[in-house]
Structure 1
Amino acid sequence: MTSIADQPPKPVVDDRRWSAERVLVHVILLAFVVLALGPIFVVIINSLKTTPAIFGGPFALPTAETFSLDGYVRVFTRGNFIANYSNSLIVTVSAVALTVVFSTLAAYALVEYRLTALVPILTGLFLIGVMLPIRLGTIPIIKIMVAWGIMDTLLALILVYTAMSIPLAVTLMMTYFRTVPTELKEAARMDGANEWQTFLIALPLVRPGLAAVATVTMLPIWNDLWFPLILAPGKANQTVTLGVQQFVGQFLNDYPALLAALTLGAVPLVLLFTVFSRQFISGLSQGYSK
């Protein structure tokens, strides 16, 4: 037997080298943060200034002499932003809720019930839906909405966004349901639980996936311009993104109002991602790694 003294010494780790690497990584990440948030910060501070102050010091913070809320006043008095926010909220919440419900049920069925060759075919169809952009089917979508009599309605947007989000949501949720122990579901069935009750028992184990699906669905819907412009262009059904786009065209020379409109359109998206970023990152990383 060899004694502890006879064992070869462990290599010494240079903590200074590792510390330098960590510092470099954090510096690079902070630089990316500045590049990403810098333009948003510039837009926000300039929306709170007068037009001469914007051109005199675009990177300067508002002062007592340059501070002004006239841009926001003109946005709310001449624009339709309250209705736009209401429409975006209705469409986003409805589409996210439908996507979470339908994708969860479909993913559980595809994982739990292996119907010979039918499951791989259905899974392949969902993967094709992820790869193909739904905008390629704009003309057939318009024909369907006209035939159903729901053009220029929020219902048209809700249905399209739900159909657009389900393929990715099902693919993501399937990875989570595959990690649910089979013994748990079999034990529930042996205790007399029906399939719906078994599904409800497995559902709490895939909560990170539900959060990831909700976040992945929410951000593109809120920020989309294509389908609101085509399917719901009427003033009563405009979303925030479409309202901002049209406001920009009308008040191109009114820079405080223009920047205020851009701020009102971007800030909710930034806040949504900030609030749900942890669920978004953890849900996607865990889901794609399983």
Structure 2
Amino acid sequence: MRPSMTYRTIQHLIGYAFAVLSLYPVFLMIASSFKTTIAIFTHPLALPEKISFVAYDKLLDQMPFGHYLWNSVLVSGASVALILISSAFAAYYISRTHYKWNSALLFIFLLGMMIPIKLGIVPLFLLMKNLGLSNTLWSLILIYTAIGIPLGIMIMAGFFKTLPKELEEAGRIDGCNDMQILSRIVIPLMRPAIGTVMIINFVTAWNDFFFPLIFIQDEVMKTIQVGMMSLFGEYESDWSTLFAGLTLASLPMVLMFVFASRQFMDGMTAGAVK
């Protein structure tokens, strides 16, 4: 066997080993959702002897899980949509116009990535209260949008600069204005950057626990991360129902990554090979 083949085989074996280590906790979570709480404690690493959907029935009957799921989908989806639209316009202006303040403007946006937004939780809470947005999903949507725009602009501005300007010049010759060039020519070529920004910000908004805990008080307005806390009791916890909720809560992220994984990988590796 040639050395190159041996080296490649070792690389594949190491990759498969890391894949198994990464996926095993997910598999264990799904398997535990079909067990009873007693079976989880007695045989935590074993497969379920009998598949039971009791945990899922309890999850859907004893708590407003549907409201939690819809709130999380609405908050994450609306935040990602606003981030993509705002970042695309701002990044296009910064990368395609030649003004002396463009670098300073980009630096100001990037400052949003350097300053921890949680340090301003008190002013943010007072601001949302004065605007009448406290205890509403709009408070979360606006906060996640503000958090995600700096990273979105940084990624998209870098992609815009790699696109040849001749494509835009050809569009202008055909009579397209700036909006048509952006929507019909540039944006379709930006799918890797769009996929990267979309996945990163969707996961950030979906998994966040801190801001929903602070800004949302009504039970039916809570997101999944906060709503699932009701399954933790003072003296005991319903672990099978908790694992069932975690399994259902992970499905939207898995589906998003499946549909946008190609664009995400292209966006992460763009510019690495010339």
Give the structure-1-normalised TM-score: 0.86
User: What's the offset of the Cα at 1:276?
Assistant: 2.6
User: What's the offset of the Cα at 1:249?
Assistant: 4.0
Report the counterpart of residue 27 of structure 1 in structure 2. Answer: 13
Report the counterpart of residue 169 of structure 2 in structure 1. Answer: 186
Distance 1:249 1:120, change over 3 A: farther
Contiguous gaps of at least 5 residues in structure 2 = none
Does structure 1 conserve the Cα–Cα contact (< 8 Å) formed by 2:69 and 2:249?
no
Report the counterpart of residue 145 of structure 2 in structure 1. Answer: 162
Does structure 1 conserve the Cα–Cα contact (< 8 Å) formed by 2:82 and 2:145?
yes
Report the counterpart of residue 115 of structure 1 in structure 2. Answer: 99
SS at match of 1:61: coil
Higher alpha-carbon Rg? 1
Verify: 1:152 aligned to 2:135, yes or no: yes
| CA-based RMSD | 2.1
d(CA) in 2 for partners of 1:209, 1:251: 47
d(CA) in 2 for partners of 1:257, 1:71: 5
SS at match of 2:270: helix
User: What's the offset of the Cα at 1:289?
Assistant: 7.0
Does structure 1 conserve the Cα–Cα contact (< 8 Å) formed by 2:195 and 2:261?
no
Structure 2 letter corresponding to 1:173: M
The 5 A counterparts of 1:248-263 are 248-249=232-233, 252-263=236-247
The partner residue of 2:220 within 219, 236, 256 is 236
Does structure 1 conserve the Cα–Cα contact (< 8 Å) formed by 2:76 and 2:141?
yes
Does structure 1 conserve the Cα–Cα contact (< 8 Å) formed by 2:232 and 2:238?
no
The partner residue of 2:67 within 59, 83, 98 is 83
d(CA) in 1 for partners of 2:235, 2:21: 27
Structure 2 letter corresponding to 1:52: I
The partner residue of 2:32 within 39, 46, 67 is 46
User: What's the offset of the Cα at 1:191?
Assistant: 4.0
Distance 1:262 1:248, change over 3 A: farther
Structure 1 letter corresponding to 2:21: L
Which deviations, in whole Å up to 9, do the C-alpha atoms of 1:57-116 show, x marking residues without a partner? 2222223xx332222221111112100011011111111111111100000011111211
Which deviations, in whole Å up to 9, do the C-alpha atoms of 1:204-251 show, x marking residues without a partner? 222221122111211111111111111123212111111123323478
d(CA) in 2 for partners of 1:120, 1:25: 42
Distance 1:239 1:250, change over 3 A: farther
d(CA) in 2 for partners of 1:61, 1:105: 51
Contiguous gaps of at least 5 residues in structure 1 = 1-14
Does structure 2 conserve the Cα–Cα contact (< 8 Å) formed by 1:49 and 1:68?
yes
Deviates more, 1:51-60 or 1:205-214: 51-60
Deviates more, 1:251-260 or 1:160-169: 251-260
Deviates more, 1:244-253 or 1:68-77: 244-253
Structure 1 letter corresponding to 2:95: V
SS at match of 2:232: helix
Give the structure-2-normalised TM-score: 0.91
Report the counterpart of residue 6 of structure 1 in structure 2. Answer: none
Instruction: Count how many residue pairs are aligned between Structure 1 and Structure 2.
Output: 273
d(CA) in 1 for partners of 2:271, 2:139: 30
